[in-house]
Structure 1
Amino acid sequence: MCLEKTWPRGGPDWAAVGVLVSGGRVLMIRRVEREGDPWSGQVAFPGGRWKPGEDLLGTAVREVEEEVGVKPEELIGVLPPLSPRNAPWLKVVPFLFNKWSGEVVPNPAEVREVRWISKEELTEGEWVGREAFFAGSWVIWGLTFRILKVLIQCGFL
């Protein structure tokens, strides 16, 4: 089964990403470069760490709004939690949405660039000894690569 309808509550070692899908494409971001950020400059989905007082769905909605300016409104489902290899203690839950309100406008404090990417734009290969997708000048690897693989296997891309 690809999607679940329930998700963990969240906590200090949890994060969520919002995966916006539309017409066989997915919205991806390239993060700004910041000193001390282990994911600085990388290609990712909008997302971030859980905060007290919210559940993980709330985390995903908040982070999408903060990073790309749209409010997710229709949840398709949830992928099982995954962990980045450089932070195995962190559990990240991808939430898939197919409807939102507002226009996509990147927050320049967090997002350098946004793109809608289709399966046809992705070329699979290797980058610095890691499995990766290439989409134009973007290199997509790590946790984001693994989420994209699941989206392709499940027919969302």
Structure 2
Amino acid sequence: MKVCRAGGATSIALVGVVALSASAAATPPEGDVERTDLAKGDTTSAVSITSADGQPTTLLVQQLVMHPGSSSGWHTHPGPEHSVITTGTVELQTAGDCAVVPYGAGQSVFIPAGVAHRVANGTPHDAGVVATYTVPAGAPVRADSPDVCGK
């Protein structure tokens, strides 16, 4: 886990950088601000988030620990899911081609709204995942789905 602190000398350095930039309109941090990166991962998948007609949405971030042999079961989400594998390896299966695809620490996964999928840990070690969901406000984050791949 990476923790970033902005304060003291860092704030002074940031003030100097901002002062040198004529086009900078932002203000520098003040006081003691801590930021904690929960996860960071790379993907080559196309990613988009759309809110229909400006309706309110809920953003939910969850940290998951998947113990050996665990599975999410087949399910869907009413909005997109962006996940980063933080430790170990998980296997993702989606309703398109049913292939079991492994993802390891540092990789990210994007699952569009409504796509049935299953995540499992078939290794003898825990796997960590940070999942971010964007769903319509008031909607359940998850709905169970039938096994669309016969596994």
Whether these two folds match at TM > 0.5 is: no
Greater helix content: 1
TM-score by length of 1: 0.24
